[in-house]
Structure formats: structure tokens, C-alpha cells
Amino acid sequence: MEQSRIWFFIVVFTYDFIRALVIGLGQKSAVVQITGLFVTEVIYFTLLQRKKPFEVKLMNNLEICMSFLRFVVVCMLYSFLSDKRQHGIEIAIELLQLIIIGMLVVVIIMNIINSIRGFINKKNNKNDEDTKDNGSVKEEQEK
């Protein structure tokens, strides 16, 4: 089970489900919501650091970085518990969210490129095998 690493998606699903529960059930209390999100982010970040669930090192680093940025956003939410309006923190949170979206776009583009590269490699390998097979048939016919 360790080699396939598919097991970690159970952790990701559970993480997303708990986040949704915290946000949904804690609607009347901002402190409960922020504290619940803080705890889930810390646990998820720790699991990512220890298990490194993706086979590609870059994907692990991107996921860890996105998790860290989500953690920073949750930490910044604590400042909204006071009655004062803080525009600077609002802008900082929006910028961090924009960075996270940008990182997701990078991951999607990388996956598309890797898929295309894999498809091309399979096609080239198949063509190479066909030419090898045709070459050996011709050699046998010449004998």
C-alpha cells in the first residue's frame, strides 16, 4: 500500500470533509471555525511533510507550499475576530489566495504536459518496436 500512495487520498478526502464540517457546523461562531480550520491545516501540513504522498518531488513541494499558504491564511483570519476593519490583512489574504490559485494552474499545466509527453513516448516506443519487428522479419526472409 505504501508503494501505490493511493491511500493518501483517503486522508485528503477526510481533510476536505472535516473542513466542510467545521465551516458548516461552526457558522454561529467565528472562533470555532477559525480554530477548527487551524487544527485541520496543522494536521494536514504535518502529514504532508512526513508522508510526502506524491511520487514526483515537485508535486510534493507544491502541495506542501499550498498547504502552508492555507495555514497562513487561517492564521491571518484570527485578526478579524476583533471589531476593527483591517484592509491590509484583507488584501494580503486575497493575494495569498491568488498565489494558491496560480500554483493550482501550474499543477494542472504540468499534468497536461506530462500526459502529452507520456502519450508521445508510448507512441514512439510502439513505432520503435514495429520497426524492430519489421527489420527482423526482413532479415529472416533474406536468409
Taking only the tens place, the pLDDT of each residue in 36-69 is 999 999 999 999 999 888 887 888 888 888 898 8
The Cα–Cα gap between 61 and 110 comes to 14
Q: What is the pTM of this model?
A: 0.66
Domain edges within the chain? 8-142
The answer to whether the Cα torsion of 82, 86, 88, 89 is positive or negative is: positive
pLDDT digits 0-9 by tens, 68-100:
888 988 888 888 777 777 788 888 888 988 998
What span, in angstroms and rounded, lies between the C-alpha atoms of 22 and 99? 24
With beta carbons less than 8 A apart as the criterion, state whether 134 and 142 touch: no
